Amino acid sequence: MSLHPLLSLTIAFLRVPQIHDGFEWSVFISRRTTVKDVVGLVVAELGISRNFAVLGGGSFEYVLEEVWAEGGAEGKTLFL
C-alpha cells in the first residue's frame, strides 16, 4: 500500500443502506489491488452489512461504478 495520492480512490456512496447518499471515503491502493479487494476493504472498514433481505430471493452485492465527464459528455463503467 502507498499513501501517494495517485494510488488512492475517493468513493462516493449512493443507494447503500446504512450510509447517506453523497458520503465520500478515500481508500489507498496498490497497483495489484482488485475491485473485489476495494469493496471488501470498504465493507470491513465502514462495518457495512453484507446480509440484506432481497425481494425474489436473489443475492445482494456491492459494485463500483466509475463516472466521468469529458467535453460535456458523461461516461460510466461498472465494476463487479
pLDDT digits (tens, 9 = 90+) for 27-40: 988 888 888 898 88
In this predicted structure, the answer to whether residue 75 has a pLDDT above a threshold of 60 is: yes
Q: What is the pLDDT of residue 9?
A: 86
CA torsion through residues 16, 22, 27, 30, sign: positive
Burial (0-12, 13-18, 19+ Cβ within 10 Å), 28: middle
Mean pLDDT for 50-56 is 70
Its pTM stands at 0.69
CA torsion through residues 56, 62, 64, 67, sign: positive
Q: Per-domain residue ranges for the chain?
A: 5-79
Amino acid (one-letter) located at 27 = V
- Reduced 3-state DSSP string for 7-33: HEEEEECCCCCCCCCCCEEEEECCCCC
Please write the tens of the pLDDT for every residue from 17-29: 789 999 999 998 8
